[in-house]
Structure 1
């Protein structure tokens, strides 16, 4: 009678149908050493009946058991660890472990089914996004006369000569070089624009190098004449400026201006971001906004909120700041809205955010060479859901 009652309660338990009093009764029956073989048989039966459905990976049984022992309420299984300890004190501990194992196995099965269900959703997103490729080396050069030249990463050729300055495309880079008879070209400017889904490099007439991120624009003179080397930026760029103490290099970005002599720094000045950020890797820069200014040293960052005139000076993880230049998305506590703005620019997609997003922060690295489907898949595994419709991504 007791054996059949044990089997009855055991089957109810693994189906999550036991009441609290039945659970207590089951634990007491299992604790009886006389029933240990019956418990083993019941466990073997359940495992044999389910092993063709789902094979538990090597080492997972001990992992699941550890999880059950460490958590009072792991979700699918509802056990009171204190009650278990009271019941099994000095009695059939082996039997208790068997029950914990099968409970853990049931829990693992449920989690596995949830994972399969989640993967089905992810795969749908992956299929929808699989046709969207990552960004590439592409830009538009606007000459002083207003004519436009489409640039990509293929081949090398001289594009033009303006006032003694040779303009050449060399793979995924634009190179300006001064000729002997350079005229005063103060009024002549060129503009390099990267579209959403594009990036490009440029070597300016003074030899300074600039990496332009997606959806960005750099305006600069064909020749740096006068007291300063002035350029204008919208979007994001990384600068490696050639030193010239007699002619400081200045970057105007929105309401801010960065002045340097020779240094390496990054400026993020996208119009849809809440602030303009200047981060210094080498040298020294002065950041100005209105009548205020701050001097940055390597590893420091100036944050200029659009909503105020202040300049906040912080310490920054410069590796993270310039990760985009090195072909990586790097997230260090970023929220999903900020991440999706980056993804929207690089993959040239429209991102639609809900009115309310829970506050969650993400950390990790993803290659910018990865397809959109792979990036969304990784974010899905972190608990974010997407719906992809053509080139629209809806965050849910």
Structure 2
């Protein structure tokens, strides 16, 4: 019960702050105060508006808000979102552009389950829809999943990817962003041994911790020094009475958000102080830069406890993917079995979450893959977010990824030779 009480206490604090913000805004906005202009009242109303909006966003799933796509006929085509496969822990979504022939490129974008919704990749999705038949993994908030649905750990995540790959067929191209990169690699290796004909055409891994030991960061240092018992005691709680997942053990989104903000607390504090002043001076807008960023950043989701703990223990502490020791139901998944799927890695020189060297390690693990099926790119000056959603992605990385996809169709000639040394053309090699 103490874990449930802690969860409900955090939700109570969030609710209270949301109420305080709404109350301050309403009180300071009474018309009578306009008869006696006072900057303090303007500031109170601005503080209330920013506070209420911020705490309300913490329990709201953002909308996709996808713009229309301009087709070859120069007309706008609306984008509809269809649930291709429904599941307790996540859905496979399909972005269908109305009245447009399906592009030749079929792509599955694998979104992280790391505290934020798949909408974190909204800009990535918007950039890919015009040129691809796009699908995405949409993981559910664990607080909405009843305990009766069972567990969900890194093996279950991998098997979900296997199911999606089988469903979409061998002509699909996988793009895995950040956290799911090692599990997407494992899912491909699993299919290579269990059902080779169901393997995807290509696999692009962007900023993922394939081998966390290759280039230590604060994230990997945390994984190395933390004791699993202590981590479970400090991070895991049970969902409170307010949600369908009551009683489920989770790593709460609000606790994750606290960790996110604490890493750059001064930057976030300044951002909110500046926003309050802009609101007070009438210079802010509902969709300004601040709100656009924080509406997404503050929207957090609970992770299943077993997924979070198994990720820390197996991916970071034991480095099972990096050492090619990953198992599913006790059976080893050999990454060396991948022999026909083209693999590309993308890294950023200023990535402080998955530093250069961690992701490109995948190419060395693919010992059965010829050099002609391997590629890598190191984006100069790009941080973690920039390699999949920023200017670096739009201008440099996206064109290279699409070029890589086009160069590796499913009906390409199968390689006849094997090579263990990856063919790379940048400093990350």
Instruction: Please identify which structure carries the higher strand content.
Output: 1
Larger Rg: 1
TM-score (norm 2): 0.23
> Relative contact order (alpha carbons < 8 A, sep ≥ 6): 1 or 2 greater?
2
Instruction: Please identify which structure carries the higher helix content.
Output: 2
